[in-house]
Chain A
Amino acid sequence: MNLTLKVWRQKNPRAAGGFETYEAKGVTPEMSFLEMLDVVNEELIAGGRDPIAFDSDCREGICGMCSLVINGIPHGGQPGTTTCELHLRHFHDGQTITVEPWRAKAFPVVRDLITNRSAFDRIIQAGGFVSVNTGGTPDGNAIPVPKTTADRAMDAAACIGCGACVAVCKNASAMLFVAAKVSHLNLLPQGKAEKDRRALNMVKQMDHEGFGNCTVTGSCEAVCPKEISLSFIAKMNRDYGVATLKGQ
């Protein structure tokens, strides 16, 4: 099959960017979207032109590095799928595809389709952990965790930190990401000791980074490759509220 790509090109954060058009010829439906970009890049390099810069690493949907907005939808719109797991069988021959980077003030473009998502790291650094040092921890079975609680914490912990929630949100809000992390740890008995502090500090950092606010549109949940539920945002709202009312 043949595809036409309209790709955002931008040399560096300061440069002005724009769309360029490329033809992906003779690609096959079994190929992944990124493998198709690899083919385009191969041709560009062989022709002495700069390849399209994009992030990817594990290429199996878990590292969270890949981050393309494909035809207006982060990760391309297949349910529970990252860009790297998206295969060309979901496109048709002759289709024109627009490829853009994540767009948010907190995720500035680094080059072409690569953005800087270190804001997420700083949010975790503000409180996305349990304050335990290595060593001296009790036996793993000393803290029973009800299966339902462990499962729910795991649902939240499945977040891969890709930032698609921010990219799709009309407000560029990072609530789903932050809520997933707050919920993962606040649900578990191990995380209860610093539950209030965690919610307050992580939200503070999130606001500081310049993400937008949640208006509960639910589009984050719809594009999340790990299908993380909007209900975790409610959980964070509750935890933050309780912590605030306590005057912490």
Chain B
Amino acid sequence: MSLDSKIPPGPLAQKWDKHRFDLKLVNPANKRKFDIIVVGSGLAGASAAASLAELGYKVRCFCFQDSPRRAHSIAAQGGINAAKNYANDGDSVYRLFYDTIKGGDFRAREANVYRLAQVSSNIIDQCVAQGVPFAREYGGLLTNRSFGGAQVSRTFYARGQTGQQLLLGAYQALSRQIGLGTVEMHPRTEMLDLVVIDGHAKGIVVRDLVSGEISSHAADAVVLATGGYSNVFFLSTNAKGCNVTATWRAWKKGALFANPCYTQIHPTCIPVSGEHQSKLTLMSESLRNDGRVWVPKRKEDCQKPPASIPEADRDYYLERKYPSFGNLAPRDISSRAAKETCDDGRGVGPGGRGVYLDFADAIKRLGESMIRDRYGNLFDIYEKITNENAYKVPMRIYPAVHYSMGGTWVDYNLMSTLPGLFVIGEANFSDHGANRLGASALMQGLADGYFVLPYTIGDYFVSAKQAKPSANHPEFKKAEENIRQFAARLLSVKGRRTATSFHRELGKLLWEKCGMARNEAGLTEALKRIPELREEFWKNVAVTGGNGELNQALEYAGRVADFMEFAELLCLDALHRRESCGGHFREEFQTAEGEAKRDDENFAYVAAWEYQGAGKAPVMRKEPLVYEEAHMSTRSYK
């Protein structure tokens, strides 16, 4: 299989315009004849479902939560980027494009990123019109703040709840369509398989999480907006329900999976407090605008109260190592720096896995009320979890898995290698390369859903000229049967270990061997250990209850089973990529100063993995990354 990214010809700045002209259109009266399934109701899914329904398509939207408003996009705190240049500080579409490409360590597809920067402005306009209460200046105009990896202020925000407000905007638009009858919403429903007929995606098989009923849904196109796979690490900042199941099962049906090893570790999370921990909580990166990161210079000082350590004995290591970006160095760099100091024995807090994020200077400079105004809710969250008042003592933070840049491979039209299967938002791989910049996830999710997919999907309908699918097709029946058997298999093991305990062990293994820093020996070991763990899982997992009822143990076990398989692909990809780039840091490939060393000659490509059948090694396909505009330089934030 060759990967055709369908990047339009012509100068970078005109590609999207030209492409939109070239895309075939569906006559408005004909749109209602096309059924579209959207799986997921986060920023990408909700915005796509609403926009497609507005255009006249018949849409069905599925989510596993009890309401589309609860998708995990809601938890994004900091903001959303847009090249508005409202701050008059020299921002432009080109600068946002360049920052994103560079932030992604030159492993993203140039044309996609440029398009993302182009539509970023429309997103803000759209959201404002929907009633998203972005922060304002006293004059009534929108205000911006700066974020990691950028030297301009281009981030729009709604207190520390930007994701919530943007999602509510998309949810409102979706709700409007549900009310109008143009979208049929299926909450508490989980997609368990993709159905492919004659090489085209033709629908999905789902399980009703309340009744346990398995049912088939046929459509002319399927859109996956099912988010990322960070929960493969067990502990991450993702919601408990986030999983890889939809994209993984699509993978097994032929949709290639790209760059799984590109996982983002967020530098500012609340450190782990114990074994029982079920998830990690992120503290918005925006805190680094005013907080200063430091650890004691000497190991002996680590257990002392921070206030007792004099200025001269503190190591503000980000400011020291990266003077021009300082505390706003990109996420991958900040995370690794924190890990290094802790590995060096200078970490603080219980277990020594933490660094200080100190607001004392900012409070002295701006006053406590100003800091409260900017970050009050984050300080509250911190206090609720740790029982510490960050106005008085510095926060303790530590990196945690946060986002997955890898995902289902898609072309410029956001279509996967399976015709008719579109993948948007975090679930695809396309825009962030090896590292995502802060405030770009919201931008990408909404760009895909509001402004890209609604154009490109029509072109597929017109060009593919596919027959109307039916849910009675034998392929659907076969898929339903497989799902039932899968559930029956899980229920019949009747072992002694819970799915959680397997998941926790898998996550720990990945965090150690394939986390912030990776090496060949560790990855090889993980690749040996994962199949063993998987085997044990299928021999000894305990799943209670039955299939025909609300059964959270069964839902979860199914997701863990997929993680058990997916983890192997993640490590395989990490092992094959013998370079360091962005979130993928291979210890063997670093500069003398410990910075990531990219190998553009050999690895400037997207690694897209193809399923070959159960028990067979996946095959890697390459999409070479060609940079027409951006110059592949070594990232430097010094």
Interface residues, chain A, with chain B CB atoms under 8 Å away: 11-12, 27-28, 30-32, 34-35, 38-39, 42, 44-46, 48-51, 53, 55-65, 78, 80-81, 85, 87, 89, 110-111, 114, 116-118, 120-121, 124-126, 128-135, 137-141, 143-147, 150-151, 153-154, 157-158, 160-161, 184-185, 188, 190-191
Let me know if B175 and A128 touch, CB within 8 A. Answer: yes
Bound CA–CA A59/B86 (angstroms): 35
Known contacts A51-B552, A125-B179, A131-B176; A157 and B168 CB within 8 A of each other: yes
9-residue interface stretch from B30-38, B121-129, B609-617: B121-129
CA distance A130 to B175 in the complex (A): 10
Q: Smallest Cβ distance from A101 to chain B, in angstroms?
A: 13
Q: For B66, list chain A residues within 8 Å (CB).
A: 55, 65, 114, 116-118
Asked if A56 and B240 sit within 8 Å, CB to CB, the answer is yes
Query: Shortest distance in angstroms between A46's beta carbon and chain B's nearest beta carbon?
Result: 6
Contact A63–B75 (Cβ < 8 Å): yes
Q: 1/0 contact trace for B131-170 toward A, CB 8 Å?
A: 1011111111110000000000000101101001100100
For residue B325, CB closer than 8 A to chain A, the reply is no
Name B residues whose Cβ lies closer than 8 Å to a Cβ of A. Answer: 47, 50-51, 54, 65-72, 74-75, 84, 86, 122, 124-131, 133-142, 156, 158-159, 161, 164-165, 168, 171-173, 175-176, 178-179, 185, 187, 210, 237, 239-241, 273-274, 276-279, 281-282, 380-381, 384-385, 387, 450-451, 454, 494, 496-501, 542-545, 549-550, 552-553
Q: Is the CB of A35 within 8 A of B126?
A: no
- B141 near A57 (CB under 8 angstroms)? no
For residue A236, give the distance in angstroms from its CB to the closest CB of chain B: 16
Contacts A118-B66, A135-B122, A146-B136: A63 and B173 contacting too (C-beta < 8 A)?
Answer: no
Tell me how far the C-beta of A35 lies from the nearest C-beta in chain B, rounded to whole angstroms: 5
A-B CB contact pairs (8 Å), 26 listed: A35-B277, A38-B500, A44-B544, A45-B499, A50-B545, A51-B552, A58-B74, A61-B384, A62-B74, A110-B210, A114-B66, A117-B67, A118-B187, A133-B54, A134-B51, A135-B451, A137-B126, A138-B129, A140-B84, A143-B129, A144-B140, A146-B140, A153-B133, A157-B133, A157-B165, A158-B159
Measured CB to CB, the closest approach of chain B to A147, in angstroms, equals: 5
- Residue on B with the closest CB to A64? B70
Note all chain A residues with C-beta closer than 8 A to B542.
Answer: 45-46, 48
Q: Which of B178, B281, B496, B544 contacts A49 (CB 8 A)?
A: B544
Q: Given A49-B544, A58-B74, does the pair A30, B501 have CB atoms closer than 8 Å?
A: no
Contacts of B501 in A (CB 8 A): 42
Separation in Å of the B395 CB from the closest CB of chain A? 15
Partner of A30, one of B54, B237, B273: B273
Tell me the complex Cα distance, A151–B68, Å. 25
Asked, given contacts A46-B498, A50-B545, whether A135 binds B126 with beta carbons under 8 Å apart, the answer is yes
- How far apart are the CA atoms of A158 and B523 in the complex, in Å? 43
Question: B454: which A residues are within 8 A, CB to CB?
Answer: 134
Given contacts A50-B544, A154-B158, contact A130 B497 (CB under 8 A): no
- Would A57 and B241 count as touching, CB distance under 8 A? yes
B278 touches A32 (CB 8 A): yes
B131 adjacent to A188 (CB under 8 Å): yes
CA distance A158 to B380 in the complex (A): 15
A59-B278 CB under 8 A given contacts A65-B66, A125-B178, A129-B130:
yes
What 9 A-B pairs come out closest when comparing CB atoms?
A144-B140, A125-B179, A129-B172, A137-B129, A154-B133, A134-B51, A140-B128, A150-B136, A153-B133
Q: What is the count of residue pairs linking A and B with beta-carbon distances less than 8 angstroms? A: 228
Q: In the complex, what distance in Å separates the CA atom of A124 from the CA atom of B169?
A: 12
Q: State the CA gap A144–B50 with chains docked (Å).
A: 26
Smallest CB gap from B386: residue in A: A30
Complex interface: chain B residues within 8 A of A44 (CB) = 544
Which residues of chain A are near B165, meaning CB under 8 Å? 154, 157
Using CB atoms, name the residue of chain A closest to B549. A12
Residue with the greatest number of chain B CB neighbours at <10 A, chosen from A11, A58, A124, A125: A58
With contacts A57-B65, A85-B384, A117-B67 taken as known, whether A130 is within 8 angstroms of B278 at the C-beta atoms is: no
Q: Which of B175, B185, B496 has the most CB of A within 10 A?
A: B175
> B281 near A60 (CB under 8 angstroms)?
yes
A157 vs B167: C-alpha distance in the bound complex, in angstroms?
Answer: 11
Contacts of A133 in B (CB 8 A): 51, 54
> A190 and B131: CB pair below 8 A?
yes
* Contact among A51, A114, A121 for B67, CB-based, below 8 A: A121
CA distance A44 to B551 in the complex (A): 13
In the complex, which of the residues B54, B128, B282, B544 contacts A137, with contact meaning CB atoms closer than 8 Å?
Answer: B128
CA distance A161 to B65 in the complex (A): 13
Residue numbers in B under 8 Å from A132 (CB-CB): 126, 129-130, 173
Besides A128-B172, A137-B122, 9 new A-B residue pairs in contact (Cβ under 8 A), listed by A number: A57-B240, A60-B237, A117-B67, A118-B187, A134-B450, A140-B125, A151-B133, A161-B67, A191-B131
Residues of chain B within 8 A (CB-CB) of A63 are 65, 70-72, 74-75, 239
Which residues on A sit within 8 Å (CB–CB) of B237? 60
A3 and B544 alpha carbons, distance in the complex (Å): 24
- A59→B239 contact, CB < 8 A: yes
Which residues of chain A come closer than 8 Å to B498, judged between CB atoms?
Answer: 42, 45-46
**Could you say which of A42, A48, A58, A126 contacts B179, with CB atoms under 8 Å apart?**
A126
A185 CA to B129 CA, complexed, in Å: 11
Contact with B552, one of A53, A87, A144 (Cβ below 8 angstroms): A53
Asked if B70 contacts A188 (CB within 8 A), the reply is no
Chain A residues, Cβ within 8 Å of B381: 60-61, 85
Residue numbers in A under 8 Å from B69 (CB-CB): 64, 121, 124, 161
CB-nearest residue of chain A to B277 = A35
Contact A114 B550 (CB under 8 A): yes
* B159 and A144 contacting across the interface, CB-CB below 8 Å: no
Report A-chain residues with C-beta under 8 Å of the C-beta of B141: 141, 144
- Closest beta carbon of chain B to A13's beta carbon, Å: 9
- Residues of A close to B171: CB separation below 8 A: 124
- Residues on the B chain within 8 Å of A138, using CB: 125, 129
Given contacts A56-B240, A57-B239, A59-B279, contact A129 B159 (CB under 8 A): no
- Cβ-closest chain A residue relative to B82: A140
Q: How far is the CB of A179 from chain B (nearest CB, A)?
A: 16
A229 to B510, CA, bound (A): 45
In the bound complex, residues from chain B placing their C-beta under 8 Å from that of A55 are: 66
Chain B residues within an 8 Å CB radius of A144: 136, 139-141
Q: Least Cβ distance of A194 to chain B in Å?
A: 11
Q: Given the complex of chains A and B, what is the CA–CA distance between A24 and B213 in angstroms?
A: 33
The answer to whether residues A190 and B130 also contact, given A42-B500, A125-B176, A137-B125 and a CB cut-off of 8 A, is yes
Complex Cα spacing A137 to B450, Å? 12
Complexed CA–CA distance, A135 and B279 (Å): 37
* Residues of B with C-beta under 8 A to A129: 130-131, 172-173, 175-176
Give the residues in chain A near B279, CB-CB below 8 Å: 59-60
* Distance between B385 CB and nearest chain A CB, rounded to angstroms: 7
CB distance from B344 to the nearest CB of A (A): 26
CA distance A149 to B636 in the complex (A): 42
**Contacting residues, chain B, for A31 (C-beta < 8 A):** 274, 276
**With contacts A28-B274, A28-B276 known, is A12 near B550, CB below 8 A?**
yes
Cross-chain contact A124 with B544 (CB below 8 angstroms): no
Contacting residue for B164 out of A38, A62, A78, CB 8 A: A62
> Measured between alpha carbons, how far is A135 from B131 in the docked complex, in Å?
14
Residues of B near A64 (CB, < 8 A) are 69-70
Contact A80 B65 (CB under 8 A): no
A30 and B65 in contact (CB under 8 A), knowing A48-B542, A53-B550, A129-B175?
A: no
Cβ A147 vs Cβ B168 within 8 A: no
Q: Which residue, B74, B122, B133, B141, has most C-beta atoms of chain A within 10 A?
A: B133
Task: Determine how close the nearest CB of chain A comes to the CB of B207; give it in whole angstroms.
Answer: 15
Tell me whether B161 and A62 are in contact (CB under 8 A): yes
